[in-house]
Chain A
Amino acid sequence: MNIHEYQAKNILSGYGILIPKGRIAYTAGEAKRAAENISAHGPWVLKAQIQSGARESGHFLEKRAGAKGGIRRIKGRLDILEEADKMLGATLVTAQTGAKGKFVSKIYVEEYVKTIRKFYVGLVVNRMESCVTLLLSDSEDNIMETAAKFPQKILRVNLSLDEKIKPEALEKIMHFLDLPEKSQTELQNLINGMCQAFKDLDALMIEINPLGLTSSGALIALDAKISFDDNALYRQPKIVPLHDDYEEDVRALQASKYGFVYHDFENGSIGCIVNGDGLALSVRDLLYGKPEQMACFLNVKGGVDKDKISAGIKIIMTNPRVEGILINILGGFLRCNLVAEGILSAAAEVGLNVPMVVRFEGTNKDEAEDILAKSGLPVLIAKDMEQSVSKLLKAMEEAA
């Protein structure tokens, strides 16, 4: 689960990390009052709160929002009203949002902080070494690109969440970023604060990008992003309410409510229902070079509730891009008959108007095939994965 910049900054501030003064605003009037409250004379920064990086270099779809991006520096108090009004209710497109962009319903109003240098700081899970890794870079480029092209520009420091950062590690970072002596305590507090937040809140990733260095040696988080471990939300009652439903694709959101995972691909016309990501990906591999591609898949995981499975199947059935459905279930924990019953009840509710091929294997396979055969639904049964793909492609060709 991801949260907005203003929420992430609020959390980090609670762990002793320095952030610029700021307030959230839903209307232009609120933005003006927020600005006045923050500082008497500015300048200020207006930041569109959508969950995406590269907001500054992004652009709005609507002409009325003006040519500037999603982060705007404002000098005069009167301009706050006008600029906030332009941004609110408009659609911001960035390198990460896709062409549709994201609707801006709130902006974060901040004091402008003058800095002399900027850095990337990230704390991530290092799955291979079973620890967390702190990543630091003074490169201005996108961190993903830097990681791929110039890995030597990133300093990686493995840390334990159960200990404070060691003096040697701190020294190494001071040297790598070439920070002034007076920033050492600030750096120490920053890293310990990030680690503590990571541990307390079951984070998967905390990024401060950029971290600013001021002329007085202070380190201040100019932007912040936190991702949380969905599997740990049950023990994070303060984090759960920070979720913004509007940030998510409607179908992905629906799927997550049933404990399933929905994934959309950019092109394609085949909707796939599986009980494992690997299975979906290998079906996608099989479709490689074929006339129809995978549009989306739903992973029902080990779902054991017939009604939930039925609701999941409807998510795929009602997707207008889907012109053919491939259901591929290898039952272990999940019993195939529950999926068959789920198909029946979903079809009864929303109808089955496109070709559907089903391949069952494993737990209660025969029972499941029997349920479908007796239902009278025009569902094709395949005996293996290749056949499921070839039968569906043929049926889709005939239907077209």
Chain B
Amino acid sequence: MSVLLNKNTKVLVQGITGRQASFHVKRLLANGTQIVAGVSPNRGGENYLNVPVFNTVSEAVRQTKATASVMFVPAASVKDALKEAVEAELETVVAIAAGVPIRDMLEIKNILKNSKTMLIGPNTPGIITPSEACLGIFPENIHQKGCVGIISRSSTLTYEAVLETNRAGLGQSTVIGLGDDMILGTGFVELMRRFEADDKTKAVVLIGTLGGTYEEEAAAYYASLKNPKPIISYIAGSTLSFNDKMGYAGDIITQGSRTAEDKESVMRAANMKVVRQINEIHTCLKDLFL
């Protein structure tokens, strides 16, 4: 088992014929991800990197039974690509692009509300279940199959967390980058639920950042669980005071000033293990299992 994605997941790639897409699709194919279709308007009927290309997502889903999509479309097209994915009732969609306008994200969140689709991202490295499949741009060479689930709001720190689980000798079950943007397709809670139910995952590493209250939501959910799996969390910028220069002033006005320390104390109160340096994660993991 794993979360969201395994070697049997049938994947389609939206925007497969783009320049950046082809670099990463080649890698995904080489590492075993089952890419069954590509979507690119007006390119239907072609074969690209030996993957059949369709004009629309619906057509691709009808023909190939794909259930997940990784979107390599540019930021300006993410909203339309997501609409297509929702209409085709895909289960999991990853948006890689950085720079999706906030107004588009507000609309996207509305579209997702009553849908069967979970959006991961945008501005994310994606999802990887090591040695099985990847929906995104993770560098395959740093991953080891294992028992730690990772959920991160910082793309680059997702990799750092991966390295920490390797150092602990535990590896990863599934790794999910939530994206660096202000508005996330999916927050921590839904994914914590999945990891909690996954028999291969023994512990979860949660990487938070300043701004928003995603971490507080995660803590509230965790506190409601009976005998949950251990969670280790780190908030980037724990030695920084949150101000309007680093963050979004709107957050401060709507929620009051929330520092990393505020977040950490809520997480501690919920019985998560909180570390103040990212390189303490591996020692914490070792303490749990050795």
Contacts and interface: CB of A to CB of B under 8 A. Distances in A.
A320 interface: no
A337 interface: no
Interface string A222-259: 00000101011011000000000000000000000000
Contacts of B20: 304, 333
Contact of B155 (A147, A278, A286, A363): A278
B102 A362 contact: no
A151 interface: yes
Interface in B184-215: 207, 209, 211-214
A151 B157 contact: no
Contacts of A156: 254
Contacts of A131: 106
A333 B102 contact: no
B250 A204 contact: yes
Given A124-B254, A234-B76, A362-B159, A130 B236 contact: no
Contacts of B213: 128
B102 A232 contact: yes
A322 interface: no
A189 to B, nearest CB: 22
A295 interface: no
Contacts of A14: none
A147 B237 contact: no
Contacts of B249: 124, 144, 205, 227
Contact of A125 (B102, B110, B141, B156): B102
Contacts of A147: 252-257
Contacts of A284: 237, 239-240
A229 B250 contact: no
B76 to A, nearest CB: 7
Nearest to B75: A231
Contacts of B160: 279, 282, 330, 385
Nearest to A285: B239
A376 to B, nearest CB: 27
Interface stretch (B35-43, B55-63, B271-279): B271-279
B179 to A, nearest CB: 11
Interface in A105-163: 122, 124-128, 130-133, 135, 143-144, 147-148, 151, 154, 156, 161
Contact of B110 (A130, A148, A199, A361): A130
Nearest to B217: A128
A127 to B, nearest CB: 5
A386 B109 CA distance: 38
A365 B140 CA distance: 12
A330 B153 contact: no
Given A128-B213, A202-B102, A148 B240 contact: no
A286 to B, nearest CB: 6
Interface in B157-197: 157, 159-160, 163, 180, 182-183
Contact of A281 (B237, B254, B255): B237
Interface string B253-270: 111110000000000000
A384 interface: yes
A304 to B, nearest CB: 7
Interface stretch (A28-36, A42-50, A269-277): A269-277
Contacts of B24: 333
Given A279-B154, A282-B160, A301-B98, A161 B142 contact: no
B256 A282 contact: no
A282 B252 contact: no
A148 B259 CA distance: 11
Interface string A337-376: 0000000000000000000000001110100000000000
Contact of A205 (B136, B155, B209, B250): B250
B176 to A, nearest CB: 14
Contact of B96 (A285, A331, A333): A333
B260 to A, nearest CB: 9
B125 interface: yes
A229 B101 contact: yes
Given A279-B154, A304-B20, A385-B160, A331 B139 contact: yes
Nearest to A330: B159
Residue from B100, B101, B236, B250 whose CB has the most chain A CB atoms within 10 Å: B250
Contacts of B254: 124, 126, 133, 135, 147, 156
A161 B103 contact: yes
Contacts of A235: 76, 101
A66 interface: no
A130 B183 contact: yes
A227 B276 CA distance: 33
A176 interface: no
A263 B257 CA distance: 20
B250 A385 contact: no
A329 to B, nearest CB: 8
A76 interface: no
A107 to B, nearest CB: 25
B30 interface: no
A332 B98 CA distance: 13
B83 to A, nearest CB: 16
B209 A278 contact: yes
Contacts of A285: 236-240, 276-278
A281 B154 CA distance: 10
Interface string A305-338: 0000000000000000000000000111100000
Given A130-B109, A282-B237, A286-B277, 9 more contacts: A126-B254, A147-B257, A231-B99, A234-B76, A282-B234, A282-B236, A361-B163, A385-B160, A385-B278
Task: Enumerate the 3 nearest inter-chain pairs by beta-carbon distance, A residue then B residue, closest first.
Answer: A278-B154, A276-B156, A124-B250
28 contacts: A122-B253, A125-B248, A127-B182, A127-B212, A127-B248, A128-B255, A132-B106, A144-B244, A147-B255, A148-B256, A148-B257, A199-B103, A229-B101, A231-B75, A231-B100, A232-B102, A232-B104, A234-B76, A276-B155, A278-B180, A278-B207, A279-B157, A282-B234, A288-B239, A332-B136, A333-B24, A362-B139, A363-B139
Interface of B: 20, 24, 75-76, 96, 98-106, 109-110, 125, 136-139, 141-142, 152-157, 159-160, 163, 180, 182-183, 207, 209, 211-214, 217, 234, 236-240, 244, 246, 248-257, 276-279
